[in-house]
Copies of this chain bind each other. A is one copy, B any other.
Amino acid sequence: MHNPRLTILGCFSASPKANAHPTAQLLEMKGHLFLIDCGEGTQIRMRQQKAKFSRINHIFISHLHGDHFFGLIGLISTFGLMNRQQDLHVYGPNGIKEIIQLQLKLSKSYTQYQIHFHELESLAPQIIFEDEKLSVETIPLHHRVYTNGFLFKEKIGERKLDFEAAKNHKVSHTYFSLAKRKKDVVNLDGKTIAYQQITLPPDEPKTYAFCSDTSFKPDIVHQIKNVNLLYHESTFLEEHEDLCFKTKHATAKQAGIIAQKAKAKHLVLGHFSVRYRNLEKFKLEAEEVFSNVTLAKSGLTISIN
């Protein structure tokens, strides 16, 4: 299984512009393709990235500000036009179901596939999706409206086959999957081989934390401790900290502090206000407190490791 990969579709705040797309991200993890937020025009960005629309079964919406969800109804309609059959799960704040269903009703465009709305209202972290390979939990944030970030956590996987060792120990390939699941096996000579002899420890499970939009909220640190990749909003630079207070956003430096306190491996900054021409300043500001910083950019793909 590959490392998870995050693709930025849009990373600017407020109104969409030709070269400043609102928030949307694709996360490929353990065979899933998750869509996180869906600003206006997200489906066009997805086409540009040649994303397989049919692979998206779960959409996570952080909050009901337009730059994070105005593209959702269009994408849901497009799924319908594509004759989608499989169920779709949408996770987002209370009210999201009403918004989508009202538009589908008035346009007489009820979808032939089923949409399951998972409406959120808890102020505490909760697991909202889980299977045998990963879990997704909310990260309660602090913004002008009810907002959640999302923490995507791989579960520890099977041990990995040491092909060379298995060959040397004369273990038939029919036993490989057993050994990977920590069972000792019998080789072609009838001898018992401990699973540790022919397998290696599993990959470290990877984690991704998406935190947008929010004011500086250090109490999320314990939840995202040691996260492999942290996306944290940085709408403003320190020089506009007063605007953060008013609009409930964060600065690049504050994002850096969160990354540093959480001992994150890698920080991606985004949700830039379009007032700034030189985004490099965001990187410099966060680097004052945290060393591994990347600026989000439409089309950028980051391997999570």
Contacts and interface: CB of A to CB of B under 8 A. Distances in A.
Interface of A: 14-18, 40-41, 43-44, 47-48, 64-66, 70-71, 73-74, 77-78, 81, 93, 95-96, 98-99, 102-103, 106-109, 144-145
Nearest to A21: B44
Given A96-B106, A99-B102, 17 more contacts: A16-B41, A16-B43, A16-B74, A17-B44, A40-B40, A40-B41, A41-B41, A41-B44, A64-B103, A65-B109, A66-B107, A66-B109, A70-B70, A70-B74, A98-B106, A102-B102, A107-B145
A18 B299 CA distance: 14
A24 B103 CA distance: 19
A77 B68 CA distance: 13
Nearest to A40: B74
Contact of A99 (B47, B64, B103, B145): B103
A109 B47 CA distance: 30
A67 to B, nearest CB: 8
A78 B15 contact: yes
A99 to B, nearest CB: 6
A66 B103 contact: yes
A96 B105 CA distance: 12
* Shortest Cβ-Cβ A-B pairs, 10 listed: A95-B106, A15-B78, A40-B74, A66-B77, A64-B107, A64-B106, A70-B74, A41-B41, A65-B107, A108-B145
A301 B71 CA distance: 28
Contact of A16 (B44, B65, B109): B44
A123 B52 CA distance: 42
A28 B99 CA distance: 33
16 contacts: A15-B43, A16-B43, A16-B74, A17-B44, A40-B71, A40-B74, A64-B103, A66-B73, A70-B73, A70-B74, A70-B77, A93-B106, A95-B106, A96-B106, A98-B102, A99-B103
Nearest to A94: B106
A18 B40 contact: no
Nearest to A39: B74
A71 B44 CA distance: 13
A71 to B, nearest CB: 7
A111 B41 CA distance: 22
A16 B81 CA distance: 12
A17 B145 CA distance: 31
B108 A144 contact: yes
Given A40-B41, A107-B65, A17 B74 contact: no
A16 B48 CA distance: 12
A69 B99 CA distance: 14
A145 B98 CA distance: 20
Contacts of A64: 103, 106-107
A63 to B, nearest CB: 8
